[in-house]
Amino acid sequence: MTSSYSAEQIQVLEGLEAVRKRPGMYIGSTGPRGLHHLVYEVVDNSIDEALAGYCTHVEVDLNADGSVTVTDDGRGIPTGIVAKTGKSGLETVLTVLHAGGKFGGGGYKVSGGLHGVGISVVNALSEWVEVTVWRDKKVHTQRYERGIPVTELIVKPYKDNRTGTSVSFLPDSQIFTTGTEFDYTTLASRLRELAYLNAGVKITFTDHRLQLLKSDQPKVETYEYKGGIREYITYINADKQPLHEEVIYVQGERNNVQVEVALQWCTDAYTDNVLGFANNIRTVDGGTHLEGLKAVLTRTLNAIARKRNKLKDSEPNLSGEHVREGLTGIISVKVPDPEFEGQTKTKLGNTEVRGIVDSLVGETLTEYLEFHPSVADAILDKAIQAFKAAEAARHARELVRRKSVLESSPLPGKLADCSSRDPRESEIYLVEGDSAGGSAKQGRDRRFQAILPLRGKILNIEKTDDAKIYKNNEIQSLITALGLGVKGEEFDASQLRYHRIVIMTDADVDGAHIRTLLLTFFYRYQRALIEQGYVYIACPPLYKIERGKNYKYCYSDREKDQYISQLPENANYTIQRFKGLGEMMPEQLWATTMNPETRTLKQVEIEDAAEADRIFTILMGDRVAPRREFIETYGSKLNLTDLDI
C-alpha cells in the first residue's frame, strides 16, 4: 500500500475506456435496467431517422445467441471520411464519445439523443458489434469487439437502391454481471410506447430464442398505430368506462416545437393519469410541458363552466385536481434543443414550452368543447361532483382532526413510534394483524424502526370515493402515521415522517391480498410515494431448516430444495414452515426480516406507468369482465400448488 500520491497516479481514460470503467454514468446501472437501455439507445437512433422523415420500418430481433439486431430503412450512417477524426463516419460514430449528427448542422431537426454517446456506449459495453449500412448502391460492413474495430470498413456493391442501417450487438458479460438475458415484456412495452408516440412508424419485434420460448416458432409482434397517441389512450382506457367516446386530440407546431395532446375522461376513475413525453423520452418527473397542460386545462374548463352557467359568480373556481379527475392524458412534445434536468432526462426544463403548450391547447380545446357542448357538460359535471365530494371529504377530515385534537394525540394509538425524529433514517413497518405486530414491536430496533399493525383487510380505494376513504379507521391511521396529508396535490416529502415505508405481510394468499390493497392505496392516494422510491416490501423467510446446531433460513421453495440437495443423503434435519409472521420469535423476525445488515427489501418501482395504471384498473376496479379475461389468459401459467386453495 503506497501512501505517496504523485502525478504518476493521475489517469487519463482514453476514448471508450472511460465507459467500460464507469458504465453506470452512461447507462444508469449495470443491472437489467442498463442492459435494456442499450437496446433503447440503438432503437432511438432509428426512431430519430423516422422523426426526420426518412424511416418507416424498424425491426428488432432477439437472436438465439443472446445478441440483438436492430434494422431500419433510414438514410444509413454516413460512411464518408470525417475530416476531424480521419476515420469513416461510421467508425467515428461508433468509437468517439459525443460524436453524432444531432448537435446542429442540419442532419436532424428533432432527436431524443443529445449527448452523442448512444451507439458508442453500446459499442464499448458489448462483446462484439456488427454494423451493416446500405447507401449509394453499396453495402458497408464492419465488426468491433469491446469497442475496438477488428475489421476495416468492407464495401461491396449492392444491386438494389436500398438504404438503412443494421446494428447487431452482444452485451458484455464482464460488464453486466447480473446476466445478459433480455426480458421480452420490458422491451415490448418500450417499443409499443415508441410506436404509439410516432404515428405511422412500423416496429416489428421478433424473439428467436426458441429454447426460452419453449416453442419451435419465433414470437413476432408488430406495432403500428396510425392514430398515434389517440390509440395509446384507447389502449390504456380499454377496461374503463369513457365519459365521451372520441378522444380529444390537439396537434400543432410553433417556433419549431411540435405538440401533440390526447385527452379522455372516464366515469369510473377517481384519479388522473397524465403521461408526459419529450422527444420520445418519458419525463417521469414532469416538466414545463406538463405544467403548461395542467394550467391550460384548469383555465379553459373554468372559463367554459362560467360561460355555461355551471358555476355561479359567487362560487370559487374548480381546482386542477377536480378538473383532471378521471382524466387519462398524454402530451408528447418534440423540441429542437431540449434541456433536460438530470443526466437521466426525466424532467423537461425548456421554459418556452410552457407557453407554447398553453396557447396551442387553449385554442383547440376551447373550440372543441364549444362545438361539443354535451362533452363539455359531462366533463364539468364530473369535475363539480369531484369538487363536492372533496368538500364532503374535507368536512370528514376536519371532523377527524378535531376528534384527534380532543383526544389529545394526533398519532394513532396502535403506532409504536421510533425515537429518532429524522425521517431520512426512520422506517415504518406496516404489519398484518396484532400478533405479528407484537413480535415486530419486541424484535425491532426502537431507535429508528416504527411499527403500525393493521387489522384485517384495508379498504380497496380503487372502488371508493374520497369521503369513504377518510371515514375508514385503518386508512385514517395510515395517513396520520405516515404524515401523508390530503389526497391529490398536498404531497410534500418534508412532511413524510418515514423515508422507508415497509409492507410486511405473511407469505400466504391473505398476506398477498393485503399487500396488493396497500400498494393500490399508495398508487392511487399518493403515487409520488412509489415514484420517489419510498415504498418497500419486506421478504420474510418461508422455511427454517435445522440440522444439529446449524440452521438456515430459506426464502423460497427453490432455495429450500437447493439447500437440501447439498446436504449429505443420510443427514438429519427438520424443516419449519412459517405460516405467518406471528409464529416467529421476535429475535428471528429481527435477524431475518428487520435487521438492515441481513434483511432483503424490495423497492417498489414503476417502470411503465401506463401499464401499471391499466393493471390496477383490471385487477382492483369495479368491472368483473376484464378481470375474468385476465385470469383466463394468465391462469394457465400459474402453478396451482403455489396457491392456498
Within 342-372, residue ranges assigned H as helices are 351-371
Angle between helices 609-620 and 509-525 (to 10 degrees): 120
**Cα separation of 279 and 271, whole Å?**
26
The 3-class secondary structure across 476-511, one letter per residue, is: HHHHHHHCCCCCCCCCCHHHCCCCEEEEECCCCHHH
What residues are labeled active site?
Answer: 432, 506, 508, 510
Q: How many CA atoms lie within 13 A of 182 on its CB side?
A: 32
Cα 248 to Cα 244: distance, rounded to the nearest angstrom:
9
Q: Between vectors from CA 601 to CA 595 and to CA 607, what angle results, nearest 5°?
A: 160
Do 475 and 469 contact (CB within 8 A), yes or no?
Answer: yes
622 is in an annotated binding site: no
Residue 398's Cβ-count burial label (10 Å; 0-12, 13-18, 19+) is exposed
The CA distance from 27 to 171, in Å, is: 13
* Integer Cα distance of 150 and 140 in angstroms: 15
Judge whether 207 is annotated as a binding position.
no
Q: How many CA atoms lie within 13 A of 408 on its CB side?
A: 0
Name beta bridge partners: 220: 206
C-alpha cell at 122: 453500446
> In Å, what is the CA distance from 75 to each residue of 157, 199, 318, 428?
17, 19, 50, 56
Closest by alpha carbon to 434, among 581, 592, 593?
Answer: 581
Long-range contacts formed by 247-251: CB under 8 A, 24+ apart? 248/365, 248/368, 248/375, 250/360, 250/361, 250/364, 250/365
Q: With contact defined as beta carbons under 8 Å apart, do 279 and 108 qualify? A: no
DSSP letter, residue 216: S
Return d(Cα 84, Cα 103) in angstroms, integer.
15
Answer for the pair 45, 118: CB distance below 8 angstroms, yes or no. yes
Tell me whether residue 184 is exposed, middle or buried, using C-beta atoms within 10 angstroms of its C-beta: 0 to 12, 13 to 18, 19 or more.
middle
Does the annotation place 506 within a ligand binding site?
Answer: yes
C-alpha to C-alpha distance for 54 and 572, rounded to whole angstroms: 70
Q: Which residues are annotated as a binding site for Mg(2+)?
A: 432, 506, 508
Q: Which residues are annotated as a binding site?
A: 432, 506, 508
